[in-house]
Amino acid sequence: MESQFGERIRTLRELQNLYLRQVAPLLNMDTAQLSKIEKGLRQLKKEQIPLLAEILKTDKVELETLWLADQLMQLVKDEPTADEALKSVSKKIMKKK
């Protein structure tokens, strides 16, 4: 599965010339796990996002947003009414603001 979150963290990691083997231990995981997260084959735990943002020197909110977008995509990707459902949710979120 294509992952916006995974693609972004790979890009950030590579821009800083960091290797998987350097970043993974900081997240208490092995390189294979982090590689799968970058490829969208596995999800990072939400609680790990602030630490990852710190390691990659990036905005935590950006990573949380992409992480949640991937979660939503996984949930609705095969649903024929996904677009309408997401629009409905978006309207409710906007009313709460």
CATH code of the domain covering residue 38: 1.10.260.40
**Domain hosting residue 17, numbered range:** 4-96
Report phi then psi at 76, rounded to 5: -110, 0
pLDDT at 79: 93
pLDDT at 54: 97
For the whole model, what pTM was predicted? 0.87
Express as a percent the part of the chain with pLDDT over 90. 92
Number of domains in the chain: 1
Q: How confident is the model over 23-76, as pLDDT tens digits? A: 999 999 999 999 999 999 999 999 999 999 999 999 999 999 999 999 999 999
